[in-house]
Chain A
Amino acid sequence: MNRSALKYTWLTYRREQLWFPIAFLALFVFISVFMRHPAIRFNLARAYLGFMVPLLGGIAAAYAVLDDPAIELRFATPLSAAETLGTRLGLILGVQTLSALGFEVVVYALRVDLSPLGGLLGLQLVWFTPTLALIAVATFGSLAGAQSAVGAFLAGALWLVQLTMKSWFELNGKYVFLFMGVFGSAGNDLLMNRVVLLVVSVALLLGAWALLHRQERFL
């Protein structure tokens, strides 16, 4: 993508998809600064990286493609389904990545020890894997239902169900448990969990790509 295209993708991006992540980042930074107990700071960091970043990414992704005022004009251009998905979702993933990395910098400055979540790469996978999964679920859901709200609901519901049924998923559905890395699991199970989530995410994104070829469903 050239620089001009990136500029316009940014300018035509829904503003709330930018302000929401910034607002939540600011809120968690603010609370972390004022909560001086290391355990509370660690839990805040875990909650933000492991739960908030994926949820915000998923909700934003649900609205990324279909909430485009010029969608019919876009469909009349030679832009491929893959390019449309790539530009719209790439930006969301970019915003979530910057939010997560920015927050990590802040918590390191506050001397919060994040090593229980893994090493440098492991820490990034704690938020990246569920974020990618929820982005994929939300995108596929909104395109399958031909409504952004369907994708947002699916992502939100999945997030909530997995969080509230944490124990059940740890026992019975560990490979599709979005937050396995957040709760400090390690070893082969965690590796397998990440591989499964990655494969499912890719499959859902391929499904979204196939659905986006049926442009008439979205007009």
Chain B
Amino acid sequence: MPKKKLSFEESLTRLEEIVRHLEKGDMPLNDSLTLFEEGTGLIKSCSALLDEAEQKVVQLKKGADRKPQELPFGDTDE
């Protein structure tokens, strides 16, 4: 399924929903397996998000057009 990439929060919320559904155990096996597969994917992607997260720190500067420009943190001209 071509879906937009879910944020960590969306993934976690969806995963919680799936677990609740599965725990009810009132779905046909095929539906359960589909959900289970989705849940497995979400667990993987959530873990990956946690494992691969690398903090990004930028400094915002007001550009000539007033729009924010991102500078690496530390390069301050003040």
Say whether A and B bind each other. Answer: no
| Chain A residues engaging chain B, CB cutoff 8 angstroms | none
| Chain B residues engaging chain A, CB cutoff 8 angstroms | none
